Amino acid sequence: MFGAISGASSATCAAIGGVMIPVMEKQGYPRPFATALTACSGTTGALIPHVFRFLVVMIVVQLLITYVPSITLTLPRLMDLMKNM
């Protein structure tokens, strides 16, 4: 997912590897395995089309358009109920 957003395999490896490799070592994985897994997972971002990031944004916007009106209508009623408790 991060590789599809950044669009660069090396940037993905650098960003994710700084977090993922130490955590994997704490979990008991050997450092060469953790490094290889990070490198392989970072390069898969190049396989995902860059249109994917726009797809994610469109899905989020659609969810906001769908659920925000119902939340904004319900929130004042919930606050009123809490005030009366």
Confidence band of 1 (pLDDT split at 50, 70, 90): low
Separation of alpha carbons 12 and 59, rounded Å = 23
Name the one residue in this structure whose structure tokens are 């994610």.
Answer: 56
Amino acid letter, residue 49 = P
First-to-last CA distance in the chain?
44
Segment 33-70, tens digit of pLDDT: 999 988 887 777 667 666 777 777 788 888 777 777 76
Length of the chain: 85
Structure tokens at 52: 């994917």
Segments making up each domain of the chain, as ranges: 1-48, 50-85
